Structure 1
Amino acid sequence: MVSPKAVIGICAGVSATIFLGYCIYFDKQRHNDPDFKRKLREKRRAKREASNCKKNSTVFPDMKDHEAVQKFFLQEIQLGEELLAAGDLENGVDHLGNAVAVCGQPNDLLQVLQQTLQPSVFHLLIQRLPCVAPRLMKGKTGGLQEDDVE
Structure 2
Amino acid sequence: MTTFSRTALVLAGICGSLFVGYCIYFDRKRRNDPDFKKKLKEKRKQKKVTKNSGADGLRASDLKDPESVQRFFLQEVQLGEEYLAMGQIEEAVEHLCNAVAVCGQPSQLLQVLQQTLPPNVFQMLITKLPTVGERLFPQSQASVAADEDVE
**TM, length-normalised to structure 2:** 0.54
Change (3 A) 1:84 1:130: same
- Structure 1 residue 58: Cα displacement: 2.3
CA RMSD of aligned residues (A): 2.2
Once the two structures are superposed, residues 67-115 of structure 1 have per-residue CA deviations (whole angstroms, 9 ceiling, x without a partner) of 0000000000000010011000001000000000000000000000000
**TM, length-normalised to structure 1:** 0.54
Equivalent positions of 1:34-45 (< 5 A) are none
May I ask how many residue pairs the two structures share in their alignment? 88
CA contact (8 A) 2:77 2:96 kept: yes
1:130 aligned partner, one-letter code: P
Show structure 1 runs of 5+ residues with no match: 1-55, 145-150
Name whichever structure is richer in helix by fraction.
2
Tell me the secondary structure at the aligned position of residue 58 of structure 1: helix
User: Separation in 1 of the partners of 2:87 and 2:139?
Assistant: 28
Q: Which structure has the larger Rg over C-alpha atoms? A: 1
1:95 aligned partner, one-letter code: H
Residue in structure 1 matched with residue 138 of structure 2 by the alignment:
138
Once the two structures are superposed, residues 28-62 of structure 1 have per-residue CA deviations (whole angstroms, 9 ceiling, x without a partner) of xxxxxxxxxxxxxxxxxxxxxxxxxxxx7621242
User: Separation in 1 of the partners of 2:95 and 2:139?
Assistant: 15
- Structure 1 residue 138: Cα displacement: 3.1
Residue in structure 1 matched with residue 55 of structure 2 by the alignment:
58
Change (3 A) 1:139 1:83: farther
More relative contact order, 1 or 2 (CA 8 Å, 6+ apart): 1
1:110 and 2:110 correspond: yes
Structure 1 runs, 4 residues or longer, greater than 6 Å off: none
User: Separation in 2 of the partners of 1:131 and 1:139?
Assistant: 14
